Structure 1
Amino acid sequence: MFEALTLELMQAGLSWKTIMKKRDNFKLAFSNWDYTQVAQYDQARVDELVQDASIIRHRQKIEAVINNAQRFVAMDAAPVDFSAYIWQFVDGTPIVNHWQQADEVPAITPLAIKISRDLKKRGFKFVGPTTTYAFLQAIGMVNDHIESCDFKYK
């Protein structure tokens, strides 16, 4: 979940092609997606990452990743499982939409707005409704593949 959320926030304003080319580099930069380690990154580590040309060097995004890792750790301490938290918004059942054409797929939905607001209330950063909706799609919580897509039910 931490990886998916991180990639979504890094992608904001950029192409997925750019993000996917750098995916392995992100994994290395962010301690193999171990949010407990990322949560401990200090300003010196942020400065290193901002200089790392193998990833997106956007300071606010890097700081948001670290902040979000800290939010994951805080939820663990509560204890609140992040996956259970996210999936409770749909009662554990994926939403399967039945779009015929790609231009029917929304960028945001009322659900994404609701979750975005709740994530922000919990202190998460770079989780606006569009990024949140893309995250929900990425984790399989929302299936927006068009009906003719070979991957619709895979």
Structure 2
Amino acid sequence: MERCGWVYHDPLYVRYHDEEWGVPVHNDRKLFEFLVLESAQAGLSWYTILKKREAYRRAFAEFDPVQVAAFGEEEISALLSEGSEIVRNRAKVEAAINNAAKFAEIQARCGSFANYLWSFVDGRPIVNAFRDVAEVPAKTPLSEQISREWKRAGFRFVGPTIVYSYMQAVGVTMDHVVSCFRYASLAGSSAVR
């Protein structure tokens, strides 16, 4: 079975590629999860974050943005303590808490974060037809636009490269290469919910 060239043979990575990456997400809690994880990845490999995903889930209240937005210094200290299994970087932890509040503001204003996010692409994923992973860009004009808007709204750790990785993860853009076994099903079902 042919997969995108970036997939390691580790079962965790294969499962992520086969079952999640590029699948359109419309669930706000899942969208917040990927925002926390993609922001935490800055400067690290996605595999490093993927291995810590369950720890992030526990540490960040099952990715409930309202609960995370209420975190204070006590929770921050616990997240940065020696026993913590997440990436212990104060700026990233504080960004996740800050971003939770901004995420909740958008939910209140737009009815859901999904409504807001998917409005950038008129509700339909951008389906690319790359033949090789080397063709996949690190950022696009749309990720630059979203990054600027998010930064103006007060989000942190949301540069255009992180935003593009986020867009790929939640299926706003579908970048499985055409030879990948996932390409046909995802390219042909852009209404997947």
What TM-score do you get using the length of structure 1 for normalisation?
Answer: 0.96
3-state SS of 2:58 partner: helix
Instruction: Name the structure 2 match of 1:61.
Output: 92
- 1:31 and 2:98 aligned: no
The one-letter code matched in structure 1 to 2:77 is D
Instruction: Name the structure 2 match of 1:17.
Output: 47
Instruction: Name the structure 1 match of 2:169.
Output: 138
Unmatched tracts of structure 1, length 5 or more: none
Measure, in 2, the Cα distance between the counterparts of 1:144 and 1:73. 28
Change (3 A) 1:44 1:68: same
Contact 2:78–2:84, Cα closer than 8 Å, also in 1: no
Measure, in 2, the Cα distance between the counterparts of 1:76 and 1:43. 25
What TM-score do you get using the length of structure 2 for normalisation?
Answer: 0.77
Alignment deviations for residues 81-134 of structure 1 (CA, whole Å, 9 cap, x no partner): 211111111100100000111100000000000000011111111000000000
**Identical amino acids, percent of aligned pairs:** 47
Measure, in 1, the Cα distance between the counterparts of 2:86 and 2:76. 12
- 1:75 and 2:101 aligned: no
Change (3 A) 1:26 1:99: same
Instruction: Name the structure 1 match of 2:75.
Output: 45
- 1:91 and 2:128 aligned: no
Any runs of at least 4 consecutive aligned residues in structure 1 with deviations exceeding 6 A, and if so which?
Answer: none
Contact 2:36–2:96, Cα closer than 8 Å, also in 1: yes
Shift of 1:76: 2.9
**CA root-mean-square deviation:** 1.1
Change (3 A) 1:124 1:103: same
Alignment deviations for residues 128-154 of structure 1 (CA, whole Å, 9 cap, x no partner): 000000000000010111110111134
Instruction: Name the structure 2 match of 1:149.
Output: 180
Alignment deviations for residues 45-89 of structure 1 (CA, whole Å, 9 cap, x no partner): 111111143110010000000001011222233344211111111
- 1:103 and 2:134 aligned: yes
Unmatched tracts of structure 2, length 5 or more: 1-30, 187-193
Shift of 1:35: 0.8
Q: Which has the higher contact order (CA 8 A, sep 6+)?
A: 2
